[in-house]
Amino acid sequence: MKNFILLLFIPFIGFSQPSKSDEILNKVKENFSRVEDYEVDVHIKVDVNFLKVPDAKAKIFYKKPDKIKLKSEGFAMLPKEGLNVSPMNFLEGDYTSIFDKEETLDGNPCYLIKVIPLGDKNDIILTNLWIDKGKYIIRKIESTTKTNGTFSITLKYSSGLNYPLPSSMTFAFNVQKMQIPEGLTGDINEMNQNKNNDKSRTTAGKVYVTYSNYKVNINIPDSIFNDDKKQED
């Protein structure tokens, strides 16, 4: 009888159920999967102590799963993470996720999930995600990288939210070298760098992005992404 009971439970040994963190992240992905494509106007303001950069206006085009295009008549400097606000931008490849705790962020109850990429190819070592408990949208991201220090992204959304797309983003970075972080893309017309600065000195900066005039699921043609004259890699 004892042997029978033991055999009865053997098939369940090693059976793995999705963790709480995986379940939460899957709901975030499912929520964003409703977005097939979009175009949006953006206003970009750069605040970096060693750069003099004018505000810029541009337009972003996105098409599932990973097509992205930035169009600007002149100068535009935007974090790559600001180009693509899809959660897959931070949840691609193999990773381990850990549920940390629940906490309130700007009055919004959130889950705090830690995401650790697996393998050596990813420059990101650890990402913390604050995920809205009711809407399953990402409200804040903090990432530590191997080569570009740390950065954080704070996302805000309009009250009449129909799709999980932000109305504004603040990208804050902190690096140990007097250089533009690799995560920032664009053409620089004028750069004022203090030659007397110690290159080992920590440098902080922010990029503010405002999104407006979203057009979602409008069947954007692939030809939009074929012209690479102003496309960001």
Could you give the dihedral angle defined by the CA atoms of residues 67, 68, 73 and 78, in that order, rounded to the nearest 10 degrees? Answer: -160
Mean of per-residue pLDDT scores for the chain: 79
Q: Residue 81: its pLDDT value, please?
A: 64
What are the tens digits of pLDDT across the range 113-144?
A: 999 998 877 788 999 999 999 999 999 999 99
Percent residues over pLDDT 70 in the chain: 73
Higher pLDDT, 156 or 53: 156
pLDDT of residue 176: 53
pLDDT band at 201 (very low <50, low <70, confident <90, very high): low
Please tell me the predicted confidence (pLDDT) of residue 193.
Answer: 42
Class of domain 17-225: mainly beta
Q: What pLDDT is stored for residue 185 in this prediction?
A: 47
Map the chain to HEC letters.
CHHHHHHHHHHHCCCCCCCHHHHHHHHHHHHHCCCCEEEEEEEEEEEECCCCCCCEEEEEEEECCCEEEEECCCCCEEEHHHHCCCHHHCCCCCEEEEEEEEEEECCEEEEEEEEEECCCCCCEEEEEEEEECCCCCEEEEEEEECCCCEEEEEEECCCCCCCCCCCEEEEEEEECCCCCCCCEEECCCCCCCCCCCCCCCCEEEEEEEEEEEEEECCCCCHHHHCCCCCCCC
Per-residue pLDDT tens for 206-222? 999 999 999 999 999 99
Q: Beta-carbon neighbour count of residue 21 at 10 Å?
A: 20
Mean pLDDT on 155-175: 89
Q: What is the pLDDT of residue 227?
A: 62
pLDDT value at 46 more than 60: yes
At 48-88, the pLDDT tens digits run: 877 788 888 999 999 998 899 988 876 666 667 667 778 87
Q: What is the pLDDT of residues 97-121, one digit of tens each?
A: 999 999 999 999 999 999 999 887 7
What pLDDT shows up at residue 145?
86
Asked whether residue 15 carries a pLDDT value surpassing 80, the answer given is: no
**pTM, two decimal places:** 0.78
User: What is the average pLDDT across 170-193?
Assistant: 54
